[in-house]
Amino acid sequence: MSAQPNPADRAVIADARAWLAQDPDDETRAEIQDLLDAAAGGAGEARDRALAGLHARFDTRLQFGTAGLRGAIGAGPNRMNRVLVAQTASGFADYLRGRSSRPSIVIGYDGRKNSDVFARDTAEIMAGAGVRAILLPRKLPTPVLAFAVRHLGVDAGVMVTASHNPAQDNGYKVYLGGADHGTQIVSPADRDIAAFIARAAKDRAVRDIHRSAEYTIADESVLDEYVTLTASILRAPVAPITFVYTPMHGVGWEVAERVFAEAGINPPVLVDEQVEPDATFPTVEFPNPEEPGALDLAFAKAIEVGAELILANDPDADRLAAAIVDDHGAWRRLSGNEVGALLGLGIADRYASEGRTGTFASSIVSSPALAAIARAYGFGFQETLTGFKWISRVPDLIFGFEEALGYLVDPWKVSDKDGISAALAALEGALLLKAQGRSIDSYDREFAERFGYFASDQISVRMTDLADIPRVMERLRAAPPKRIGSIPVERVDDLLHGFGDLPPSDVLRFWLAGDARVIIRPSGTEPKVKVYIDAQSTDGTAEQRKNAAKAVVTELSVNVHRLIEV
């Protein structure tokens, strides 16, 4: 005889049945029905697995925050699915109606599983709620959606994407127009929207949410204008350059191809296996150009054709990775900090030559190199919390970046990181150097001679028990280390309740002797603790500076693991 379900099991079964009654998706309905059948008719381990599966899906809910929603596709409130998206869209529509008497929204989507379905659901629900809804005409990059929010003058934007997350994930990224100028949401908007979503989920069955087909499909003028404005940033002498490009199975190539052509750049050599959008990302373990092995096909193609540069967008094309062949003939991927510094220096040169002023910005976990550039040129500089929702809000911004391959080179056009315009800026730098008979590798050495060498590293530690993350942070706050390895800790900044102009954030920043630093924070999207390590040197030759800074980073990297052991 099978054991009788306990109260928690009875409750989760009831929740699953209620969800099943309103789920419009055959796939997730079947997923829940299979679990319910196994929980009701199974025995032993099969029944226990089914109940565990129900609890995993229904005991918690994907939390809506400043990153919107992001999670694995599946059934239940703790997964990305049509019910959750419908509740989110309905609640967000309520929020927008409270902000405007005639609210409007533009909606975009990438090539991930169900992105188009979630986008159409959102458009229908917004239209049914009286919000003027515009749907982008097909799979397009996130920067195009972010551009459209400002270009169309709407009150909000939604991009259905999980960016560079694993293939099983999808997400729902929210932008606000008007006084927010097309930026991603920040507090308190995230809390306010989340409250409306919770109310909609509680009060409305999905089948009762009014829908309408009276939404608009955006015409090609939105994309045309994005392409024209992006191409206009190129001011370098146009000359042949052999470069490899990959969109990493994402949606970047259609737009990147048009931008390169309009700017007068010769077509790249493509990584053919990765050109077409493919939600399974078959050639990479993770569709993130930062991950080891993600650029292997690009490296092979670059060697085959004798390329000078590799450029890679992530699947929604808001990030850019770059790789170069060094003066010894070896290929290496530049870190996000290296690309940010090189793009920043190029923009500083341009603005200074034109007599223009402005402010540079980077996240607190990004390299201090950009601040050094800004000081040398007399530009303003501002640090922000991680994420372009903060960087893009910096007043008088002329360039912003974060170490996670995010760059904003044309803030007058878009209020978010843009991997396509960043690709064009990287090509411009390569073309300028080529015209002068110089390489990116030699330019990197010149940078070290001029500003010092800035070394960095990042360590991510995955936690199987989510409760371990706050335990680690609480322990470090209660007993901060006196030294890391042999390097003394001189002071600690705790950002939990804000610090200077920075809003509150669960971040600890350790300043060490010799201008080194270690920053520790929980990941905003994954069950990880992240550690960012930076060191710099201005003593000796470029090579000596490089060796000194890297030695400090190596020592810190080896010893920092002890700080975050559970």
Tell me the catalytic residues: 163
Dihedral sign for Cα atoms in the order 132, 137, 142, 147:
negative
Query: 361 near 391, Cβ under 8 Å?
Result: yes
Query: 103 near 134, Cβ under 8 Å?
Result: no
Per-residue tokens: 528: 């990880």
In sequence order, what E strands does 247-345 have? 269-270, 309-313, 320-325, 331-333
Phi and psi based region of residue 405 (left: phi greater than 0; alpha: psi -120 to 50; beta: remaining): left
Is beta strand 516-522 parallel, antiparallel or unpaired with respect to 528-537? Answer: antiparallel
Burial bucket for residue 562 (CB in 10 Å: 0-12, 13-18, 19+): exposed
What residues contact residue 267 under an 8 Å CB cut-off, 6+ apart?
Answer: 257, 260, 261
Residue 496 phi/psi, 5-degree rounding, is -60, -35
Q: What is the per-residue burial (b if ≥16 Cβ within 10 Å, else e) of 143-167?
A: bbbbbbbbbbebbbbbbbbbbbbeb
Per-residue tokens: 439: 């390489």
Query: 373 near 394, Cβ under 8 Å?
Result: no
In 386-529, alpha helices (H): 388-391, 419-435, 440-451, 468-478
User: Tokens 């350059």 — which residue?
Assistant: 241
Q: Give 3-state DSSP helix, strand, coil % of the chain, rounded to 5.
A: 40, 20, 35
Spatial separation of the C-alpha atoms in residues 534 and 394, rounded to whole Å:
23
User: Tokens 């092979």 — which residue?
Assistant: 300
CA distances from 426 to 395, 439, 443, 479 (A): 24, 13, 13, 44
